[in-house]
Amino acid sequence: MGLTVLRDHLYWIDRQQQMIERVDKLTGEGRTRIQGRISYLTSIHAAEEIDPQEFASHPCSRDNGGCSHICIAKGDGTSTCSCPMHLVLLQDLLHCGAGTEKLVRVDGKMDRAKSKTSWKKICWRLQKTLNWLEVHRPGQP
């Protein structure tokens, strides 16, 4: 089930019924079916309509801020790039790629460091953790 709030309503998805519904976020009244027969629903997000001029001034609005994957707006009006968990931010601080290289924070600055841990070791540790969780916390995600 996915949930999101927009203005006065709480929206959610029902995967079994393949639909989006909403209710008043304070009272829970006024349950309404928004859209039905949507296959493969996994999550829901809501966003306010934005003024086109305000959007044009957003640091990520043009060419995704120069980022190959994820652009994050900072409070000072600039942007920074980020990557999905399976990738790392490359030296140009704009593009993501595979590898064992990773960013580390040194004295408040981003610096490069070579990971001494191989992907094989990381996968092995992850598998051991998952095995431990399966034994000690069965049935929990």
Q: For residue range 103-121, what is the model confidence (pLDDT) as tens digits?
A: 544 444 444 444 444 555 5
User: Are 81 and 110 contacting, i.e. CB atoms less than 8 angstroms apart?
Assistant: no
User: Are 3 and 12 contacting, i.e. CB atoms less than 8 angstroms apart?
Assistant: yes
C-alpha–C-alpha distance, residues 53 and 57, integer Å: 7
Backbone angles phi, psi at 132, to 5 degrees: -65, -45
Strand partners, 112: 103
pLDDT at 65: 94
Question: What pLDDT, in 10s, does the model give residues 63-101?
Answer: 999 999 999 998 898 999 998 888 889 999 999 988 655
pLDDT at 129: 67
Rounded to whole angstroms, what are the CA distances from 62 to 53, 56, 66? Answer: 13, 8, 8
pLDDT at 47: 86
Confidence of residue 133 (pLDDT cuts 50, 70, 90): low
pLDDT at 115: 46
Please give the structure tokens belonging to residue 45: 């997000």
Question: What pLDDT, in 10s, does the model give residues 1-50?
Answer: 789 999 999 999 988 888 999 999 999 999 999 998 888 888 888 888 88
